């Protein structure tokens, strides 16, 4: 570890002495590989991201013009061994900004099917590369020996990057480690420490789509990933791929590298060409040149070139009639024998043709039977799904109706409880008034009036602010109360010929007395008194 830190310290000092540049993370910067060469992102992606057999080229130009040397290169051959496994071999070169790593990579992936569209996939990338110092601007004094630097100039490193993915229908969760195990053959030690490991977790969902006519096998594949990088902030990214047999579009965001967008087309059913551009958003890198990526791929195929002969199976050879090179006059007996021989040959050919026709008819019957059985099974499944959907909708509707009923009943019970509590409170208040009257006491302190009924007014206790014989002064008083935030009202009493301006109506005498004694919650400091309307 001391040697490694010394190397980084020396090289960073050299770089910063020439220019103030942003330090690149030491990863492969493969976060935009969504289709071709995606096995560099996660080794299990060779099972379904690459075509069944293809040769693909990927190059990345980090923060530079496209006419410069690429900072990352990956040339890869990948193919499916069968429906459950795949292999790949490739050439890889990556400039980390400190070291230039050049070598090869082997890939293998295998999928375990558990049924019900569940699958567990495991994969492994094995890297073997030569690592040398990427920047040649540092020329050390030959009299000063730096064994750490000399040791790092030409080191061969083996690196193992395992990956795993669990899929259910179109949803997948994956994990990979770029350098879980590595070994430096020059130092006979591990090439990275435990805190220099690069881990990445990802989730994605494949959604089949129907696009324009001619664009078949289309799907949308969004993916979210989180990546830990040594000596740097954890990267969080999101990318999305829209792919079809004619073209693909992709876009993405990485918390360090910024936003990206790319497109590509497929030509002559085999050739695929695409490009991507990426812009930095962070304050540290937004002034850098944009990054570019180029993708080129050729899909290999091995069609069955055998031609079938109508009326014959592939493993059978049709009977050829021999040609007579010389025509020799025959006697009648010989002529008859020759005709019989020819008739036998024709009968054999007819019998063979009839046999093949019967076999073909039986095969067609079996195919029709299988189709009929499959159609019946599809119909049965569709009916079961429809019945299940109907039952589910009925259950949901019943549950919703029950929930609404329970909610309404709860509301009614709450209202009833409030009404009962209010009725009890009013009755207790009336009992108190009756007891005071029976004992010959005043109903309440201060001025108090009551009437049996008053048209248009509800029974209760009214806190009176003042009474008026004319509407002019009454309205002036009401307006002054509104300015104090009091919504005062009034009623007319025929018996006295006065308008009674009240601050508020209360259901009980206790509430009215409390409002009178606390000066209407401090809003009205003048004298008030209580007026009661006994019945509605």
- 454 vs 490: CA distance, rounded Å: 12
One fold for 2-299 and 448-533: no
Each domain of the chain, given as residue ranges in start order, spans 2-299, 329-441, 448-533
- 32 vs 30: CA distance, rounded Å: 6
- Name 214's Cβ contacts closer than 8 Å, sequence gap at least 6: 246
* Banded model confidence at residue 320, pLDDT cuts 50, 70, 90: very low
The pairing of strands 118-133 and 99-115 is antiparallel
List pLDDT tens digits, range 467-489: 999 999 999 999 999 999 999 99
DSSP 307: P
- Look up residue 279 and give its two tokens: 């812009």
List pLDDT tens digits, range 426-457: 888 888 888 888 888 888 988 999 999 999 89
**Does domain 2-299 sit in CATH 3.40.50.300?**
no
List pLDDT tens digits, range 203-262: 999 999 888 776 778 899 999 999 998 888 899 999 999 998 889 999 999 998 899 999
State the Rg of the chain over Cα: 46
State residue 391's pLDDT score.
92
- Across the chain, what does the average pLDDT equal? 83
| Residues in a beta bridge with 228 | 199
CB 232 within 8 A of CB 251: no
- Look up residue 239 and give its two tokens: 């990318």
pTM over 0.85: no
CB 49 within 8 A of CB 34: yes
Average pLDDT over residues 181-201: 89
- 448-533 CATH: 3.30.70.1070
- 110 vs 105: CA distance, rounded Å: 17
* Banded model confidence at residue 421, pLDDT cuts 50, 70, 90: confident
- What are the angstrom distances between the C-alpha of 339 and each of 199, 331, 345, 352? 84, 12, 10, 20
pLDDT of 511 higher than 90: yes
């Amino acid at each position: 570890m001391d040697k490694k830190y010394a190397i980084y310290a020396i090289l960073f000092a050299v770089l910063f002495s020439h220019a103030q540049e942003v330090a690149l993370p030491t990863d492969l910067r493969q976060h935009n590989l969504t289709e071709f060469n995606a096995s560099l992102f996660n080794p299990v992606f060779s099972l379904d991201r690459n075509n069944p057999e293809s040769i693909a080229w990927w190059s990345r130009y980090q923060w530079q013009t496209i006419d410069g040397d690429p900072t990352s290169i990956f040339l890869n051959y990948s193919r499916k061994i069968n429906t459950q496994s795949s292999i790949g071999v490739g050439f890889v070169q990556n400039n980390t900004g400190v070291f230039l790593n050049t070598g090869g990579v082997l890939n293998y992936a295998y999928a375990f099917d558990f049924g019900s569209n569940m699958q567990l996939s495991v994969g492994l990338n094995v890297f073997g590369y030569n690592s040398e110092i990427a920047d040649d601007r540092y020329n050390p004094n030959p009299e000063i020996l730096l064994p750490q630097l000399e040791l790092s100039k030409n080191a061969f490193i083996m690196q193992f990057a395992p990956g795993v993915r669990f899929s259910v229908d179109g949803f997948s969760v994956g994990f990979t480690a770029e350098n879980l195990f590595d070994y430096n053959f020059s130092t006979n030690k591990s090439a990275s420490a435990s805190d220099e490991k690069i881990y990445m977790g990802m989730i994605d969902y494949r959604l089949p789509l129907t696009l324009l006519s001619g664009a078949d096998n289309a799907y949308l594949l969004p993916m979210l990933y989180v990546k830990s990088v040594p000596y740097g902030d954890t990267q969080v990214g999101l990318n999305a791929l829209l792919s079809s047999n004619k073209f693909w579009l992709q876009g993405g965001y990485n918390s360090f590298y910024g936003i990206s967008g790319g497109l590509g087309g497929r030509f002559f059913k085999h050739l695929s060409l695409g490009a991507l551009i990426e812009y930095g958003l962070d304050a540290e890198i937004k002034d850098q040149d944009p990054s570019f990526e180029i993708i080129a791929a050729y899909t290999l195929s091995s069609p069955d070139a055998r031609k079938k002969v109508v009326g014959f199976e592939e493993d059978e050879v049709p009977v050829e009639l021999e040609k007579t090179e010389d025509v020799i006059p025959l006697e009648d007996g010989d002529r008859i024998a020759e005709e019989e021989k020819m008739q036998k040959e024709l009968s054999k050919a007819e019998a063979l043709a009839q046999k093949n026709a019967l076999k073909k008819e039986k095969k067609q019957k079996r195919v029709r039977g299988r189709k009929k059985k499959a159609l019946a099974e599809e119909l049965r499944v569709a009916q079961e799904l429809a019945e299940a959907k109907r039952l589910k909708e009925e259950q949901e509707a019943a549950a919703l109706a029950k929930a609404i009923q329970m909610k309404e009943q709860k509301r009614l019970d709450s209202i009833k409880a409030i009404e009962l509590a209010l009725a009890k409170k009013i009755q207790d208040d009336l009992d108190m008034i009756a007891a005071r009257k029976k004992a010959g006491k005043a109903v309440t302190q201060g001025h108090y009036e009551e009437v049996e009924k008053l048209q248009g007014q509800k029974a209760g206790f009214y806190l009176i602010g003042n009474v008026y014989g004319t509407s002019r002064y009454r309205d002036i008083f009401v307006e002054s109360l509104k300015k104090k935030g009091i919504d005062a009202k009034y009623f007319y009493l025929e018996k006295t010929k006065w308008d009674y301006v009240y601050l508020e109506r209360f259901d009980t005498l206790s509430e009215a007395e409390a409002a009178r004694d606390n000066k209407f919650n401090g809003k009205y400091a003048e004298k008030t008194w209580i007026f009661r309307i006994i019945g509605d």
